[in-house]
Amino acid sequence: MSKNNSTTLTQARRAKKDEFYTSFEDIAREMETYVECDPKVFSGRSVLCPCDVASESAFVEFFVQNFDRLGLKRLVATCFREGGRGGVFIKEAGKEDYSALLRGDGDFRSEEVGAFRDETDFIITNPPFSLFREFVAWARAGHAKVSIVGNMNASSCADIFPLIHHGKLWYGSSITGGDREFRVPNDYPLTASGSRIDDKGNKFVRVKGVRWFTDIQNVYRHKPLELRTMEENLQNNKQIKAHAFAYQEYDNYPAIEVPYTSAIPSDYEGVMGVPISFLDKHCPEQFRIVGITDSRNSSGLKTKTYTKQDHPTPGSLNSRATLVTPDGDYKSTYVRLLIKKV
């Protein structure tokens, strides 16, 4: 993540100004990948958007516009109003649209909104940034499938990674890199590069590392990567040729360093450490995720724990995969997924 975009999210976390309104275009692109995989995926089903003001939400706009084409049975959108009563919008096949105030403030964690969760088939929204992990747990407490906008850094969190590890959550296929533009509230400070105000006074920011977290199938999830041998990568992959530690074995994990998804070798059968961005291309029929490099040793694969006798700041080494430099010093990597060929 770039410094500017990281700053955007840090500001959001500190100030709780973490409402990022997803664009209609980004929503449409992702939903169409599900329809492409199964044209009847939404047919006769209900959708809940539990963080959405109906008159402003592009999620509601998309599902209202495509209600009949998708064959939806019901659309429900609820919104939070601090210190007041939340709102609800309901669209049902063959009935008049319905809007009303809720009894409570509309917090998704309320019993009132939880009742909507328990009777829906899909939960699709962009929750507040600071509540992403809590929202995922809440959404999965029901039986609904989910499609939730979040930052890819959440993938390594203790309560999110196990879902990815066990194939209960994965990345959607419509966003695989670059940054996305989000509309933000009028009182949001525009300090990061790429921010703008349109001719209607709406504020926008650009954020890197955004992904869809979902358990809805798409055809691209099962498309295997085209791989080259380790030798071919060393000779022809410019990124690898310039990387001093490519394919080196870690000092504290029985795995080799593969710093780019494009450099995964076709002829290596052992465990490999790859960037989190590998999840953009993960085909479960091709690779098995066996763990992650973290301080908890949740994978059970860590072979070494460093102390101050090894390094002045052993914590940074123990929380990541560690490489040994030519002069005998230690270098920790970014978070790595540990994968192995199926």
Q: Is beta strand 337-341 parallel, antiparallel or unpaired with respect to 272-274?
A: antiparallel
State residue 57's pLDDT score. Answer: 97
HSE at residue 299, side-chain half, CA atoms within 13 A, is 27
State residue 6's pLDDT score. Answer: 44
Instruction: Compute the distance between CA of residue 297 and CA of residue 276 in angstroms, rounded to an integer.
Output: 17
Q: Residue 307 corresponds to which tokens in the numbers above?
A: 């102390």
**Kind plus residue range of the DSSP H or E element containing 262:** none
Give 248's DSSP letter. Answer: P
pTM (2 decimals)? 0.92
Instruction: Compute the distance between CA of residue 207 and CA of residue 172 in angstroms, rounded to an integer.
Output: 17
State residue 2's pLDDT score. Answer: 41
State residue 14's pLDDT score. Answer: 38
State residue 177's pLDDT score. Answer: 87
Q: What size, in residues, is the chain?
A: 342
Residue 139, classed as helix, strand or coil, is: helix
- Residue bearing tokens 């709780």: 16
Q: Residue 254 corresponds to which tokens in the numbers above?
A: 């029985």
- Residue bearing tokens 């703008």: 196
SS3 string of 52-65? CCCCCCHHHHHHHH
Q: Which residues of the chain have pLDDT under 50?
A: 1-16
Q: Residue 172 corresponds to which tokens in the numbers above?
A: 């959607």
State residue 17's pLDDT score. Answer: 62
Domains defined along the chain, listed by start: 3-221 (3.40.50), 223-341 (no CATH)
Instruction: Compute the distance between CA of residue 114 and CA of residue 243 in angstroms, rounded to an integer.
Output: 49
Q: What is the dihedral of CA 243, 249, 252, 253, to 10 degrees?
A: 110
Instruction: Compute the distance between CA of residue 129 and CA of residue 113 in angstroms, rounded to an integer.
Output: 19
- Residue bearing tokens 């099962």: 222
CB 321 within 8 A of CB 274: no
Query: What would the pLDDT profile of 35-67 be if each residue is shown by its tens digit?
Result: 999 999 999 999 999 999 999 999 999 999 999
